[in-house]
Structure 1
Amino acid sequence: MSNTEPVHKTLYPFVAIVGQEALKKSLILNVINPGLSGVLIRGEKGTAKSTAVRALAELLPEIDVVDGDPFQSDPHDPRAMAPEVYARYQAGETLPVRRRKVRVVELPVSATEDRVIGTINLETALKEGRRTIEPGLLAAAHRGILYMDEVNLLDDHVVDVLLDSAAMGVNTIEREGVSLSHPARFTLIGTMNPEEGELRPQLLDRFGLCVHVEGLNDPAQRVEVVKRRAAFEDDPEAFAARWADETEKMRTAIAAAIARYPRVQADDAILYAIAERSLKLGVDGHRSDIIMLKAAKALAAWEGREQVTEQDVDGAAALALAHRIRRKPFEDISGSSFS
């Protein structure tokens, strides 16, 4: 895998997206706490799903990586180092450091398991007695964003592997009796058009949050969408420059929320409020309660607070429960109610 950075392409600014507040908030919350296990964005074509995901990386703080390492190892955190880098660290080597933007790694619909998780270089193992990993997309996505467009069209087994890695933060490759692992902590984002088929309930549940997006119904907003898109296509650099101040403000706010999140507290009254919402809606298991707590804390951090409120729980429930409610046959997720 090449370590050359891709040529930078001017992206449509995240802050210039009209409406779609739930979509934008769900993405920001997953950046504040990647432990939310990602977000599934459901909606018709032309509703800014892909635009928002690709623009998200521009808002994130830059990260330090070990220069020349295809696994995006963190030179300051042994837990986020690939095995070979960790061995160098243990040996006392001074690791070369490079600072760069967070990546959005896109997963092709045709991706195979080997392309996703990587393979073990058996030739090196046989010739040199040294086990090495040929990195896959999960290595490239470590400490970044893994974007799965049309996730409902992916092979179920590939999706299972991705969701397992997202939950554990580790990718394990097993071939011919040889097993190797490397850190794989990333923000998982999936988009889909429900008209092209649904996900299995077991897979739906593995996404921390779910949001349904639709075309805007307000004529003024629709006109604004057209104006902004036309201006961007005429001159992407000039359009991005006009939104540079707002982009920087949001980038600063996100960095502050990430730093604040570990200090956010939720008392027992909040935990009971979370449990009651899951019970009222007949949600199976306890994953929803855990995700709601994380989302509520991320909301509080985003709002500049260190204490979770009932309003945070309401906001978290709207994003964490819709895809987990028991539904009748043919009942759509977007019809779920939280009142």
Structure 2
Amino acid sequence: MSEARMRAAFPFTALVGQAPLQRALLLAAIDPALGGVLVSGPRGTAKSTAARALAALLPHGAFVTLPLGASEEKLIGSLDLEAALRESAVRFSPGLLARAHGGVLYVDEVNLLSDALVDVLLDAAASGVNTVERDGVSHTHAARFVLVGTMNPEEGELRPQLLDRFGLMVELSNSFDLDERQRIVKARLAFDADPLAFCAAHEAAQRELAQRIAAARGALDGLEWSDAVHERAAQWCVEAAVDGMRADLVMLRAARALAAFEGATQVAPDHVDQVAEAVLAHRRRVMPDQPPMSGGRSERGAPPEPPEPGPASNRASAEQLQSEANPDWGELPAEPVAARHVKGVIPLPAKKR
């Protein structure tokens, strides 16, 4: 097999049945500062294929994989030992973060990585900068990449503190639609049979999509958020009972990236609605007495109105407060019950006085 055939990546525009994942990856490519995309799903759902396909759309096209057994030095870089021994010089040896600059850094089974490595990854993904100060080396370099982490829920979860730092999350599932499964398999078989011909058939669509990503990146700074957009993001986050303010910030940035990708002149509340699920999928903490937004939103997307106050609701609130203050409130006192003889039961002898 030729080197060109080995390097060919499945075209992003030829992916089938992956619309939510494609959107999340495109948003992260437009604004890598979102913090990356976490993809959760079973094996064989094209997680790595989609990530590799995204890299082919980016200017540098770098696709770097972080092995599970990688050390922190391999990830962030370290002292160049050969230069130190040969030339007695202190020189920086780039790590995987430097190699991924301008491309995609892919971490399979990110939930199995050590917390320290995940922390470093997320810091660099959000800031776009990697700083190394160790072994006599003090070095800072750009590390602007799209972080894509995948995980199988059956193999464990990420700690909530790390989960929240991923910008977007997409939950994949197995497809049981006959037509969709056939289209997926046919596309894959056609690609495997002749990768170059398959990619050539999608070259025009790929080029157009790459141009849209580049244009959207350039348009980001020119888009601002109105008060209506801020309000819509806050509504989603309040109803999801999220911790902190990171969800609001990510939601606004994701909505701006979507507006830029669509070529809109301003960010609209509808853009917020379209990205909300990817932002809240791993952050949602809906309270038990809180109805879900999907079933009770008005046409504008606002949460349902609270019930009108009345005697019944006031009484319910008072009872709830009283029960919280005194857990035993509302219990009935014990009442004496007259004893009666049950046939067939031998009575106990009376106590002697």
TM over 0.5: yes
Q: Give the percent of matched residue pairs that are identical in Structure 1 and Structure 2.
A: 51
**Which residue does 1:22 correspond to in 2?**
20
The amino acid across from 2:107 in the alignment is M
**Which residue does 2:302 correspond to in 1?**
none
CA distance in 1: counterparts of 2:141 and 2:217, whole angstroms:
24
1:45 aligns with 2:43: yes
**Which residue does 1:201 correspond to in 2?**
160
CA distance in 2: counterparts of 1:265 and 1:175, whole angstroms:
40
The amino acid across from 1:156 in the alignment is D
SS in 1 for 2:230: helix
- Counterpart contact for 1:292–1:317, Cα < 8 Å: yes
Equivalent of residue 162 in structure 1, options 96, 106, 121? 121
1:278 aligns with 2:237: yes
The amino acid across from 1:280 in the alignment is E
Distance 1:133 1:199, change over 3 A: same
Q: Deviations over 1:220-240 (max 9, x none)?
A: 111111111111111111111
1:301 aligns with 2:299: no
Please say which of residues 190-199 and 5-14 is displaced more in the overlay: 5-14
How far did residue 253 of structure 1 move? Answer: 2.1
Gaps of 5+ in 2: 295-353
SS in 2 for 1:59: coil
Equivalent of residue 251 in structure 1, options 187, 210, 218? 210
Equivalent of residue 103 in structure 2, options 135, 144, 149? 144
Equivalent of residue 70 in structure 2, options 74, 97, 111? 111
CA distance in 1: counterparts of 2:223 and 2:176, whole angstroms:
36
Instruction: Choose 1 or 2 for highest CA Rg.
Output: 2
The amino acid across from 1:155 in the alignment is S
SS in 1 for 2:265: coil
- Corresponding pairs, count: 289
- Counterpart contact for 1:120–1:173, Cα < 8 Å: no
How far did residue 42 of structure 1 move? Answer: 0.6
How far did residue 134 of structure 1 move? Answer: 1.1
SS in 1 for 2:130: strand
SS in 1 for 2:28: helix
**Which residue does 1:310 correspond to in 2?**
269
**Which residue does 1:238 correspond to in 2?**
197
SS in 2 for 1:143: coil
CA distance in 2: counterparts of 1:150 and 1:109, whole angstroms:
8
How far did residue 215 of structure 1 move? Answer: 2.1
After superposition, residues 58-97 of structure 1 pair within 5 angstroms as 58-60=56-58, 62=59
SS in 1 for 2:140: strand
How far did residue 337 of structure 1 move? Answer: 5.7
Q: Which has the higher contact order (CA 8 A, sep 6+)?
A: 1
Q: Deviations over 1:288-322 (max 9, x none)?
A: 11100000001111111021112111112111111
The amino acid across from 1:148 in the alignment is V
How far did residue 177 of structure 1 move? Answer: 5.5
**Which residue does 2:221 correspond to in 1?**
262
SS in 1 for 2:250: helix
The amino acid across from 1:36 in the alignment is L
The amino acid across from 2:187 in the alignment is R
CA distance in 2: counterparts of 1:46 and 1:7, whole angstroms:
22
CA distance in 1: counterparts of 2:85 and 2:42, whole angstroms:
50
How far did residue 52 of structure 1 move? Answer: 0.5
How far did residue 182 of structure 1 move? Answer: 2.1
CA distance in 2: counterparts of 1:285 and 1:306, whole angstroms:
30
